Amino acid sequence: MNKSQHRRLWIVLIGLMFATVIIVGRLFAFQILQGKAWAERTSDKLTLIARPERGVIYDRNGAVLAANGADYQISVAPNLVYKPQELSAALSSILQRPQLEIRALLEQNTPYQLIEGRVSPEVAELVRALPYEGVQIDPLPRRFYPQNELMCHILGYVDFDGNGGSGLEGYYQQELAGEAASIVRNISPLTMQQSVIARDGADLVLTIDRTVQYVVEKHLKQGLAQYGAESGTIIVMNPRTGAILAIANYPCYNPYDFYRADKSLLLDPAISKQYEPGSVMKLITMAAALDSGTVGPQSTYYDAGVLEVGGHLTYNWDRSAPGTVDMTTLLARSLNVGAATLAVWMGPETFYRYYQLFGFGRPSGIDLKAEIGGTLHLPGSDLWTDALLATNSYGQGMATTPLQMLLAISALANEGRLMQPYLVQERRYPDGRIFVHEPVALSHPISAETARIVTAMAVTAVAREVYGAQVDGYTVAGKTGTAQIPEPYGYHPTDTIASFVGWLPADDPEIAILVKLDRPRVSPWGSTTAAPLFADLVKELVVLLDIPPDHIRLQSEIVAARNH
Which CATH number fits the domain that encloses residue 439?
3.40.710.10
pLDDT at residue 25 is higher than 70: no
pLDDT at res. 463: 92
Q: Let me know whether 225 and 127 are in one domain.
A: no
Q: Of the given ranges (133-147, 337-351, 450-464), which has the lowest mean pLDDT?
A: 133-147
Q: For residues 371 and 364, is the Cβ–Cβ distance under 8 A?
A: yes
Residue 532 has pLDDT above 90, yes or no: yes
Does residue 554 register a pLDDT over 90? Answer: no
308 and 454 fall within a common domain: yes
Q: Examine the domain organization and report whether 228 and 142 are in the same domain.
A: no
Domain count, the chain: 2
Q: Residue 16 domain-assigned?
A: no
Q: How confident is the model at residue 435 (pLDDT cuts 50, 70, 90)?
A: very high
The letter for the amino acid at 449 is E
The Cα 309–Cα 345 span in angstroms is 12
222 and 109: one domain? no
Length of the chain: 564
Residue 240: pLDDT band (50, 70, 90) is: very high
Domain hosting 111: range is 72-146
Give 184's pLDDT tier (boundaries 50, 70, 90).
Answer: low
d(CA 515, CA 235): 7
**474 lies in the same domain as 394:** yes
- Within-domain flag for 184: no
Answer yes or no: is 201 within a domain. no
Give mean pLDDT, residues 452-474.
Answer: 92
Q: According to the model, what pLDDT value does residue 470 have?
A: 93
Higher pLDDT, 98 or 515: 515
- In this prediction, residue 5 has a pLDDT band, given cuts at 50, 70 and 90, of low
Confidence of residue 120 (pLDDT cuts 50, 70, 90): confident
The residues, any chain, with a CB within 8 Å of residue 167's CB and separated by 6 or more, are 152, 153, 154, 155, 156, 157, 268, 368, 369
Inside any domain, residue 156:
no
Q: Quick check: 351 and 393 in contact, CB under 8 A?
A: yes
Residue 542: pLDDT band with limits 50, 70, 90: very high
**Does residue 275 share a domain with residue 391?**
yes
> What's the pLDDT at 333?
94
Residue that finishes a domain, picked among 146, 178, 202 = 146
Residue 182 has pLDDT above 80, yes or no: no
Nearest to 484 by CA among 283, 314, 250, 300: 314
Where is pLDDT greater, at 477 or 97? 477
* pLDDT computed for residue 466 by the predictor: 84
In a domain, 22, yes or no: no
Per-residue pLDDT for 197 more than 80?
no
Mean pLDDT on 245-270: 95
CA distances from 442 to 359, 419, 445, 493 (A): 8, 5, 9, 38
Tell me the pLDDT band of 112, cut-offs 50, 70 and 90.
confident
d(CA 520, CA 67): 37
Assess whether pLDDT exceeds 70 at residue 190: no
Average pLDDT of span 350-366 = 97
Instruction: Report whether pLDDT(202) > 70.
Output: yes
Please, what's the b/e burial string for 304-343 (b: 16 or more CB within 10 A of its CB; e: otherwise)?
A: ebebebeebebebeeeeebeebbbbbbbbbbbbbbbbbbb
Asked if residue 15 belongs to a domain, the reply is no
Q: Where are the alpha helices (DSSP H) in 394-529?
A: 402-412, 448-465
> Is residue 356 one of the residues assigned to a domain?
yes
Quote the percentage of the chain above a pLDDT of 70.
Answer: 88
Indicate if the pLDDT at residue 134 is higher than 90.
no
Clarify whether residues 110 and 229 are in a common domain.
no
Q: What is the pLDDT of residue 185?
A: 55
Q: Is residue 436 part of a domain?
A: yes
Phi/psi at 39 (nearest 5 deg)? -65, -35
β-partners of residue 72 are: 119, 139
- For residue 116, pLDDT over 90 is answered with no
Higher pLDDT, 522 or 34: 522
State residue 20 phi and psi, 5-degree precision.
Answer: -65, -40
Query: 284: helix, coil or strand?
Result: helix
Distance of alpha carbon 42 from alpha carbon 263, whole angstroms: 46
Direct distance between the N- and C-terminal alpha carbons of the chain, in angstroms, rounded to an integer: 124
Indicate whether 130 and 273 sit together in one domain.
no
Judgement on whether residues 267 and 121 belong to the same structural domain of the protein: no
- Answer whether residue 38 shows pLDDT above 60: no
Query: Do 385 and 490 reside in the same domain of the chain?
Result: yes
**In the predicted model, what is the mean pLDDT of the chain?**
90
Q: Is the domain of 236 the same as that of 119?
A: no
Model pLDDT, residue 194: 57
For residues 237 and 123, membership in a common domain is answered with: no
98/94 Cα distance (integer angstroms): 11
Q: Structure pTM?
A: 0.86
For 42-50, what is the mean pLDDT? 55
Q: Which of 97, 122, 146 is the last residue of a domain?
A: 146
